[in-house]
C-alpha cells in the first residue's frame, strides 16, 4: 500500500513577519510562503510520481491554524509529516546574518525514526546548491510535537541572508529543494525515486566530486585563519576532510584561529586543513562567510580562496582560469570560453541567484570558488 505523506507549507502568504527584509534590487521583500508554497507544489508532484499518496494540510494561501494542520495529518494516518520553511535570524541583512539549511525533529527524536528521515533528506540537500549545513536540530515545535507520525521540518535557507533570500524566488532552486526532499523520503521508505518532471539536476561537479578530496594550489600555507562568525552555534572542526557530522570533534568561536596547511576541495566545497598551536591537524570550512585569513605576507589578491584573476572571463577568453571555470561548471575543459561554457555559466548563475550574464566577473568567481 502506498505511504501517505502530509505536506505543510509553513505559513499563510500574509502571515505577519514571515518575510525577508526589503531587497533593493527587487524593490520589495519576499514572503516566506512564496518559497514554501512552490516547493510543496513540486514536492507533491514528485512524490505522486514515485507512488506516494499526499495530503496537503494547508492547501490555501490563508494561514491554516497549526492545530488544523496536525489534526488532519493525524486523522488521515499519514506515514510522515514534512514541513517546508525558510529561516530568519534578526530580520536584517547584516554581515553577521547566518546562512544555510537545517532539519528539525521533536525533542529526543534525533536518534529515532524522524532523525533517520531527516538524515536521508539532508544527504540529498547537501548535494544540491552549495549552502552551509547546520545539522539536525531538536525543537519543541507544534507540528513536530502534535503529530502522531514521524515529522521533519526543514529550513532551507535564511531570509535575512541576501543571497539566500534571492534564491527563494529561483524556480530551479525551488525544484531542486523539492527533488532533494523527494529523494530523501524515497530513500527512507525504500521506494525507488522516479524523476518524472525532470527538475534541473543539482550542479554536477558537486555530485561527481562527492566523497572525493582534491588538493587545490594555495598561497595561504602558513597563514592564520580565524572565525568571523558571531553565531551562538560556533563553527565545527573535524578530524577528517569530510562534511560529515560524525567527524566533528569540536567547535571554535569568533576570533579563534588556526594555521593553514593546505586548501582542499571536499565534496565540491572548500576546506582548510589546519593545525593548532600543538600541531594537531583538523579540517574547517574555508568559506569567506565564516572565516578570514590573517597575515602580513599574504598578497591582497589572496582574499579569495582561489584569487580572482583580475579581469572578467567571457566569450573569447582563454587559458588556465577558463579551464578552472569549465571544471567547476562541468563542461569540456579546453581552456577556451565558447558558447557552451557561457551557457553553463548562465545556468550556474541562475541556480545561485547571481546576475545572469554568462560572464565570470568577481561575484560569480567568488561563488564558484
Ligand atoms: Zn517558517
Based on the fold, state whether residues 261 and 335 are members of the same structural domain.
no
How many angstroms separate the alpha carbon of residue 86 from the centre of ligand 1? 5
Residue after which a domain boundary falls, among 189, 222, 250: 189
How many angstroms separate the alpha carbon of residue 243 from the centre of ligand 1? 26
Question: Which of 191-200, 284-293, 294-303 has the highest average model confidence (pLDDT)?
Answer: 284-293
List the CATH number of the domain containing 145.
3.40.630.40
How many angstroms separate the alpha carbon of residue 65 from the centre of ligand 1? 13
Q: Is residue 158 part of a domain?
A: yes
Q: Is residue 312 part of a domain?
A: no
Based on the fold, state whether residues 299 and 325 are members of the same structural domain.
no
Residue after which a domain boundary falls, among 248, 273, 303: 303
What confidence tier does 305 reach under pLDDT thresholds 50, 70, 90? low
Note the pTM of the prediction, 2 decimals. Answer: 0.56
Question: Which residues neighbour 340 within 8 Å (Cβ) at sequence distance 6 or greater?
Answer: 331, 332
Question: Which residues neighbour 249 within 8 Å (Cβ) at sequence distance 6 or greater?
Answer: 237, 238, 239, 282
Based on the fold, state whether residues 148 and 260 are members of the same structural domain.
no
Mean pLDDT of 324-329: 87
* Domain coverage including residue 132: 4-189
How many angstroms separate the alpha carbon of residue 89 from the centre of ligand 1? 11
Question: Which residues neighbour 369 within 8 Å (Cβ) at sequence distance 6 or greater?
Answer: 270, 304, 305, 306, 324, 328
Split into its structural domains, the chain has a count of 3
Q: What percent of the chain has pLDDT over 70?
A: 92
What confidence tier does 266 reach under pLDDT thresholds 50, 70, 90? confident
pLDDT at 200 over 50: no
Residue after which a domain boundary falls, among 156, 189, 222: 189
Tell how many helices (H) and how many strands (E) occur in the chain. 10, 14
How many angstroms separate the alpha carbon of residue 32 from the centre of ligand 1? 7
What confidence tier does 295 reach under pLDDT thresholds 50, 70, 90? low
Q: To 5 degrees, how large is the angle CA 145–CA 5–CA 164?
A: 75
3-state helix, strand, coil in the chain (%, to 5): 30, 25, 45
How many angstroms separate the alpha carbon of residue 9 from the centre of ligand 1? 8
How many angstroms separate the alpha carbon of residue 180 from the centre of ligand 1? 19
Pairwise CA distance, residues 66 & 222, whole Å: 53
How many angstroms separate the alpha carbon of residue 354 from the centre of ligand 1? 24
Q: Is residue 185 part of a domain?
A: yes
User: Tell me, what DSSP letter sits at residue 19?
Assistant: B
How many angstroms separate the alpha carbon of residue 156 from the centre of ligand 1? 10
List the CATH number of the domain containing 225.
2.30.30
Based on the fold, state whether residues 140 and 17 are members of the same structural domain.
yes
How many angstroms separate the alpha carbon of residue 11 from the centre of ligand 1? 6
Q: What is the distance between the terminal CA atoms of the chain, rounded to a whole angstrom?
A: 46
Least confident residue range of 132-136, 143-147, 203-207, 354-358 = 203-207
How many angstroms separate the alpha carbon of residue 303 from the centre of ligand 1? 35
Pairwise CA distance, residues 53 & 60, whole Å: 19
pLDDT at 75 over 50: yes
Which one, of 206, 222, 205, 192, lies nearest residue 298 by Cα? 222
How many angstroms separate the alpha carbon of residue 157 from the centre of ligand 1? 11
Amino acid at each position: 500500500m502506498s505511504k501517505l505523506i502530509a505536506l505543510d507549507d509553513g505559513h499563510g502568504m500574509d502571515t505577519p513577519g514571515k518575510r525577508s527584509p526589503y531587497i533593493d534590487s527587487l524593490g520589495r521583500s519576499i514572503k516566506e510562503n512564496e518559497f514554501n508554497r512552490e516547493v510543496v507544489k513540486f514536492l507533491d508532484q514528485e512524490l505522486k510520481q514515485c507512488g506516494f499518496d499526499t495530503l496537503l494540510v494547508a492547501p490555501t494561501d490563508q494561514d491554516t491554524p497549526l492545530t488544523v494542520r496536525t489534526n488532519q495529518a493525524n486523522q488521515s494516518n499519514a506515514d510522515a509529516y514534512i514541513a517546508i520553511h525558510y529561516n530568519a535570524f534578526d530580520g536584517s541583512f547584516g554581515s553577521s546574518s547566518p546562512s544555510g539549511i537545517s532539519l528539525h525533529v521533536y525533542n529526543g527524536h534525533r536518534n529515532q525514526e524522524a532523525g533517520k528521515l531527516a538524515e536521508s533528506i539532508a544527504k540529498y540537500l547537501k548535494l544540491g546548491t552549495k549552502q552551509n549545513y547546520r545539522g539536525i536540530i531538536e525543537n519543541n515545535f507544534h507540528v513536530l510535537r502534535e503529530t502522531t507520525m514521524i515529522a521533519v521540518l526543514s529550513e532551507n535557507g535564511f531570509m535575512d541572508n541576501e543571497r539566500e533570500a534571492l534564491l527563494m524566488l529561483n524556480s530551479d532552486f525551488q525544484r531542486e529543494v523539492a527533488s532533494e526532499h523527494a529523494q530523501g523520503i524515497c530513500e527512507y521508505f525504500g521506494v525507488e525515486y522516479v524523476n518524472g518532471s525532470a527538475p534541473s539536476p543539482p550542479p554536477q561537479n558537486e555530485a561527481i566530486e562527492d566523497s572525493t578530496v582534491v588538493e587545490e594550489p594555495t598561497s595561504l600555507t602558513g597563514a592564520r585563519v580565524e572565525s568571523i562568525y558571531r553565531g551562538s552555534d560556533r563553527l565545527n572542526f573535524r578530524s577528517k576532510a569530510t562534511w560529515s557530522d560524525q567527524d566533528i570533534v569540536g567547535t571554535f568561536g569568533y576570533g579563534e584561529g588556526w594555521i593553514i596547511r593546505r586548501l582542499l576541495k571536499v565534496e565540491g566545497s572548500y576546506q582548510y586543513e589546519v593545525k593548532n598551536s600543538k600541531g594537531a591537524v583538523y579540517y574547517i570550512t574555508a568559506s569567506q562567510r565564516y572565516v578570514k585569513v590573517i597575515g602580513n605576507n599574504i598578497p591582497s589578491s589572496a582574499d579569495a580562496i582561489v584569487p580572482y584573476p583580475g579581469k572578467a572571463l567571457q566569450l573569447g577568453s582563454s587559458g588556465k582560469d577558463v579551464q578552472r571555470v569549465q571544471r567547476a561548471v562541468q563542461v569540456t575543459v579546453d581552456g577556451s570560453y565558447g558558447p557552451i561554457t557561457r551557457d553553463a555559466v548562465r545556468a550556474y548563475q541562475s541556480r545561485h541567484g547571481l546576475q545572469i550574464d554568462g560572464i565570470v566577473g568577481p561575484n560569480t568567481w567568488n561563488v564558484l570558488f
